[in-house]
Amino acid sequence: MAKDKIAFVCSNCGQESAKWIGKCPNCGQWNTFKEFRIAADTGSQAARNAATTLRNAASGGSVSALANKPQRLRDISSHDDPRIDMHDGELNRVLGGGLVPGSIVLLGGEPGIGKSTLTLQTILHMTQRVLYVSGEESPHQIKMRAERISKDIAENIIILSETSLEHIFEHIRDVQPELVVIDSIQTISTEDVDSSPGSITQVRECASALLRFAKTSGVPVILIGHINKEGSIAGPKILEHIVDTVIQFEGDQHYMYRILRSIKNRFGSTSELGIYEMEQQGLREVSNPSELLLTEDHEGLSGVAISSTIEGARPFLVETQALVSSAAYGTPQRSATGFDQRRLNMLLAVLEKRVGFKLMQKDVFLNIAGGLRVTDMAMDLSVIAAVLSSNVDTPIEQGWCMCGEVGLSGEVRPVSRIEQRIAEAEKLGFSHIIIPKYNLSGLTGKYNIQLHPVRKVEEALRALFG
């Protein structure tokens, strides 16, 4: 019998130590090391047994324990394995084209944002045998949600309400699924660790055992995880290092839009974005978000500017709203929703220093409509235009949109994928678009939308307000 192991783990970053330390050498936090007793490693053995059973069933015989052998790099095949179609265009885009066999995916988000709903409605359209393990809900609750989402429920979905990792691997050997869903990883515990479910060591050990199972069996695993108050996935950062892909489901519960964003992806781009609309029957894919984000008529209203942005590989138009008013208190307020606060302060400084508008004694409030959070630098020009429009109380004419990054000296810097931005604005019926002058040389096609190339912020504001 192997002896129990005593380990000290940092509750902030997951750093291990053989003895207690006052200050963590990895993250620098004080008094974060907690003592844990780790029993014999039976969870790893259960994962290996379950993976061996599935490999034997797939191959029709026994598989050697040394199936993996060293290979020369030039002899390794470079073709991609066929991905599993999730029957969801937005989810396939964020994953990089589908789910990779043998991968482990972590889906994070706030409680009640729709993680379980998204996962359940996805597997209801799949043809593979799926084992859905729930540690939070009973099978009856899952059935009620499934009936609300879809009327036709196939026989390939198997529901298991279990929190013990060892029992889960026993059921995996019996069921032999082609996809495993764990909802959620914070509720699963292993007998190897003498601590409560959701603790740092429990989350890490369970995720490591599921990773070994996925890599040795070729069966993909989807983990659902909660996020903490800081907005990061609950548990140490090591959980995000273990998995292959981390996707985060985010959005404001007061809005009907939800955004699926890739944070880490070993099999695709991390800049992809999926947009959903929350409905009574579940989540609906939004194939053209620009039309939904620009549904309201703002003719005659000041402080509104339209920007052509790109998130991942898809362009869409975003409405920027600004409100500038005299400071009622001593210190002017600066508030931004859906936009970087520090970048807003920088743009206001550029507007005051380079253009000459005095905003030092005024409150500035900025909002990106629809509850979106956009990180594209091409939003700079629309932010400045919206702020100035509100400051002088003059609306921007209908049919105008813009894109461009603003530098510290007031110049309008070039942006990427300018042709896609222009085409999206033209498709939605805009007649004028302001673009950086440096992007004009790279344009090859002819457009029905009038282009206004500018070099400085003053030229853009002169084109908008005369």
Can you give the pLDDT at residue 223? 94
In this structure, are strands 104-109 and 245-250 parallel, antiparallel, or unpaired?
parallel
Can you give the pLDDT at residue 382? 95
| Token pair in block for residue 202 | 């429990």
CA pair distance 449, 427, nearest whole angstrom: 9
Can you give the pLDDT at residue 129? 94
CA pair distance 111, 54, nearest whole angstrom: 34
Can you give the pLDDT at residue 44? 61
Please state, as a whole number, how many other Cβ atoms lie within 10 Å of the Cβ of residue 6: 12
CA pair distance 142, 145, nearest whole angstrom: 5
Structural contact between residues 258 and 289, judged by C-beta atoms closer than 8 angstroms: no
- Per residue of the chain (466 residues), give pLDDT as tens: 445 667 787 877 777 788 898 998 888 889 888 877 665 555 566 666 666 666 666 555 544 444 568 889 888 877 667 899 999 989 998 998 899 999 999 998 888 888 999 999 999 999 999 999 999 899 999 999 999 988 888 889 999 999 999 999 999 999 999 999 999 898 999 988 777 787 777 888 899 999 999 999 999 999 998 876 555 665 556 688 889 999 988 876 667 788 898 889 998 888 788 888 888 888 988 877 777 677 567 777 899 999 999 887 788 899 999 999 988 777 889 999 989 999 999 999 999 998 888 888 899 999 998 777 888 999 999 999 999 999 999 999 989 999 999 999 999 999 999 999 999 999 888 999 999 999 988 787 788 999 999 999 999 999 998 7
CA pair distance 123, 406, nearest whole angstrom: 44
Can you give the pLDDT at residue 58? 57
* Element holding 205 (H helix, E strand): helix 200-217
| HEC per residue, 131-187 | EEEECCCCHHHHHHHHHHHCCCCCCCEEEEECCEHHHHHHHHHHHCCCEEEEECHHH
Can you give the pLDDT at residue 45? 64
Angle CA(31)–CA(32)–CA(37) in degrees, nearest 5?
115
Q: Which residues of 78-96 are buried (b: 16+ CB within 10 A; e: fewer)?
A: eeeeebbebebebbbbbbb
In this structure, are strands 362-368 and 314-326 parallel, antiparallel, or unpaired?
antiparallel
Can you give the pLDDT at residue 251? 77
Task: With CA atoms as reference, report the closest residue to 182 among 161, 166, 157.
Answer: 161
Q: What is the pTM of this model?
A: 0.75
Can you give the pLDDT at residue 54? 62
CA pair distance 466, 462, nearest whole angstrom: 5
CA pair distance 158, 298, nearest whole angstrom: 50
The residues, any chain, with a CB within 8 Å of residue 164's CB and separated by 6 or more, are 188, 189, 190, 191
| Token pair in block for residue 170 | 């026993």
Can you give the pLDDT at residue 346? 95
DSSP 86: -
CA pair distance 355, 435, nearest whole angstrom: 18
Please state, as a whole number, how many other Cβ atoms lie within 10 Å of the Cβ of residue 230: 7
Q: How far is CA 438 from CA 102, 172, 418, 434, 444, in A?
A: 45, 58, 11, 12, 14
